[in-house]
Amino acid sequence: MTRFSRRTLLTGGVGLAGLGVGAAAVGVGQELSEPATAPSTLPFFGDHQSGIVTPMQAHANFIGLDLIDAADHTALQGMLRLWTQDAANLTQGEPGFSDTEPELAGAPARLSIAVGFGPGAFASQVLAAKKPAWCAPLPAFGIDRLQERWGQTDVVVAVACDDPMTLAHAVRMVVAPVRRRMRVRWMQQGFHHRRNLFGQVDGTVQPSDDRHDDLVWDDGAEQAWMADGTSLVLRRIAMNMDTWEALDRRGRELSVGRSLDTGAPLTGTTETDEAVFSATKGGIPVIPESAHIARAHQRSDREQFLRRPYSYDLAPPGVDGDTSDSGLIFAAYQRDPLAQYLPVQQRLADHDALNEWTTPIGSAVYAMLPGARPGSYLGAPLFE
């Protein structure tokens, strides 16, 4: 395979068609301990980026980066070219460009690498007019206690897979080559389980697959380059495990509106049963009006979005009495966050029983790029 310098890639001096993107960079021998069967892979090229409507992987790391020179759109374009080549290889079990640990690339474990732009990525004169109208920080909510260290960044890269070693290697391949043009503001690492740390079955209510084109993927009506892309609202929500665990089981179920054992609404028997919010017992609502599922329930057809929750559980920050730094990295994907996500979040902020045990500490909004075509690169329509 022909090799080019990273400088050439970053300055856009060579097209990806000449690099043979998607082809194996080098051959890597299997480790003796690896299974003989081929590792699981997700497609990289296509209409949409993988890792959005993909069945959730076990581990994820959202990387928030800021551009050192936001006005230099050619540098941004070069980084997208480089990420495209690396992601096209890594997701298929091949080493990234100039990979110094190629043996770690051999087990992709459903690896996905998806890129999105925050408002700051559109700072150059060339890109300013192409920023979607909704691509801006969410308005302040009364329950928010946002910390700058988890705030809006210019770029996000969402890396996810089923193996933590593969994830760590892929994150290195994302960050290492762009250090001279980007600064890492934060990394948000999480793990997925059908239950969150409160013991609740999480992410039950989702748009049906046949509504993704309408509710998740952009149609390009406002910005033609965004066709087949989507928006990401990324919220970091701290969960007070100590006070939650002091609450009895019945109190927990009433706060959520679901049974803890089955995940069923309190008016049903299975997780997928429709909640009946009008149901009463002895004149008292079976599901309290302040229950989380009652406040989150859609009031219109447009108030639907794809929920992808990842839990985090870190060492305590050193405050006496705390046993952990725990919470949820809540990723919501939708065509228009102002029409779909914002009304639901406002209701939750106004009166959600879970607010007593949860605190949003981070918030950001991104335009997730459309998928890349073979021979091209992520974000190419934005620069055409």
Which DSSP helix (H) or strand (E) runs through 367?
A: strand 358-368
Q: Which residues are within 8 A (CB) of 369 and not within 5 positions of it... i.e. 6 or more apart?
A: 49, 114, 115, 116, 117, 229, 378, 379, 382
Q: Which residue has the tokens 């993704």?
A: 212
Question: What tokens were used for 81?
Answer: 């070219």
Residue (of 132, 196, 146) closest to 327 by Cα position? 196
Q: Which residue has the tokens 């959202």?
A: 62
Can you tell me the distance from the alpha carbon of 11 to that of 367, in angstroms, rounded to the nearest whole number?
Answer: 23
Distance separating alpha carbons of residues 44 and 84, to the nearest angstrom: 9
Task: Please tell me the distance from the alpha carbon of residue 12 to that of residue 181, in angstroms, as a whole number.
Answer: 14
Per-residue exposure over 249-282, b if at least 16 CB sit within 10 Å of its own CB, e if not = eeebbbbbbbbbeebbbbbbeeeeeebebeeeee
Report CA 347 to chain centroid distance, whole Å.
22
Identify the helix (H) or strand (E) that includes residue 342.
helix 342-351
Distance (Å, rounded) from C-alpha 380 to C-alpha 78?
A: 11
- Asked about 202 being catalytic, the answer comes back as yes
Q: Which of 332, 339, 320, 343 is nearest to 366 (CA)?
A: 332
Q: To the nearest 10°, the Cα dihedral for 348, 353, 356, 362?
A: -20
Find the largest Cα–Cα distance for the chain. Answer: 76
Best CA proximity match to 239, nearest among 58, 360, 60, 347? 360
Nearest to 60 by CA among 148, 168, 173: 168
Strand stretches in the chain, DSSP E = 59-67, 112-117, 155-161, 182-191, 230-239, 280-281, 284-285, 306-314, 325-334, 358-368
Ramachandran angles phi, psi of 308, nearest 5° = -130, 90
> CA neighbours within 13 Å on the CB side: how many for 68?
9
Catalytic residue among 86, 99, 202, 218: 202
Instruction: Report, as residue numbers or ranges, the catalytic residues.
Output: 202
